[in-house]
Amino acid sequence: MPDHRGKLVLLPPHRVWRTYLGGRSLDTLAGSAAPADTHFPEDWIASTTRAINAGREHICEGVSPVTVGGASHDFADLLASDPDYFLGAAHAARFGPQPQLLVKLLDPSIRLHFQAHPTADFARRFLGSPSGKTEAYHILGARPGSSPYIYLGFQRPPSRDTLRRMIETQDIAGLEACFDKIPVKPGDTYIVPGGVPHALGEGLLLVEVQEPSDLVVRFEFERGGYVLPESARFMGRGLEFCLDVFDCSAWPLSRLAVEAACPPRRRRALGPDSWQDDLIGPERTPCFRVRQSHLRGPVTKTESQTHIAVVTQGAGTVTVGGETHRLKPCDKFFCPAGLGALDFRPEPTLSLLECHPPDAGAPIHPPA
């Protein structure tokens, strides 16, 4: 049997440069002696996606290093070596050796730029990309003293001409007035469809689940003392082109509660006091699925498809293939489709966020 089979794929920290500041909490989780907020506020998890950073094109950023059986691998190369085992035969037949998913830990110390991402349909038609960037947030925590929030959708949408003028003149007060702050707390999950303008508030720690692209329209040009170069604003296409990316419909709180908030729905029992919830299913997006398992006693657990797991609460161990691994908050691992059963022992509780790629048997994108 190949050395990689029957073993968990462990995911060491893989920090990626971004245009905003943060990362101190990620430093602390990694045991840094001098945690600090820098331009490395994100940890890209089980990624085969290349980061797009203006001025850093010569640096290959984004593709994750992983560890299997004590040996280090490039994640993209590992998947390509045995795609049927890692991703499942149906997934590999449709998508090739790509997970069709990108998961991150985000730790912003400042509010992010106002931004919007193209839908998959827009990306296919106009950007030559198979994926847009519908994404979702699962809130893990917030820094002491912060009042955690997100901006999601225009509650008071401007006209196209007004939006263009505010972006051209960088009328940040005017742009901010289009939004309401949406308070969030640990355990909340929100989906952000492609096209919907948004921004993360300062001080959050969260898991982001998204389509595997780094396409973004940043319509606020300066944050934290860093001014975006022109190439990092409008995907190299100009403002007028990018205005077509925006969903300028109204997103009142009543709509957010129905179309963006993703409360847990019980999926199945895993034991007398353990269970799994659905957070995001195909009724919300065809792009990915998100579940959460809450373990309150020993559980032997098998999933039918490949997925990325992130420890959201608690601690414990997982045993598979004769190897036992200790788990603590924000640890993460990749479960190959062919791995089989995993034995979990919570100490005394353990919660896992489980991020699944799109269903290989269903349409990836809704009809245009």
What single-letter DSSP state applies at residue 239?
H
Dist. CA 104–CA 163, nearest whole Å: 30
What single-letter DSSP state applies at residue 259?
H
Q: What is the pLDDT at residue 53?
A: 85
Task: Look at residue 155 and give its three-state secondary structure.
Answer: coil
Q: What is the pLDDT at residue 60?
A: 82
Q: 261 is written with which tokens?
A: 């908030």
Which residue do the tokens 């820098």 mark? 38
Q: What is the pLDDT at residue 54?
A: 82
CB under 8 A, 24+ apart: contacts of 227-232:
228/19, 228/54, 228/113, 229/54, 229/55, 231/54, 232/19, 232/53, 232/54
Amino acid identity, residue 317?
A: T
Q: Would you write out the chain's pLDDT as a tens digit for each of its 368 residues?
A: 468 899 999 999 999 999 999 999 999 999 999 999 999 999 999 999 989 888 888 888 899 999 999 999 999 999 999 999 999 999 999 999 999 999 999 999 999 999 999 999 999 999 999 999 999 999 999 999 999 999 999 999 999 999 999 999 999 999 999 999 999 999 999 999 999 999 999 999 999 999 999 999 999 999 999 999 999 999 999 999 999 999 999 999 999 999 999 999 999 999 999 999 999 999 999 999 999 999 999 999 999 899 999 999 999 999 998 999 999 999 999 999 999 999 999 999 999 999 999 998 876 655 44
CB 12 within 8 A of CB 334: no
Domains present along the chain, CATH in parentheses = 11-61+97-259 (2.60.120.10)
Query: To 5 degrees, how large is the angle CA 127–CA 65–CA 13?
Result: 100
Query: To 5 degrees, how large is the angle CA 108–CA 15–CA 351?
Result: 70
Q: What is the pLDDT at residue 365?
A: 57
CB-neighbour burial class of residue 126 (10 A; exposed 0-12, middle 13-18, buried 19+): middle
CB 291 within 8 A of CB 316: no
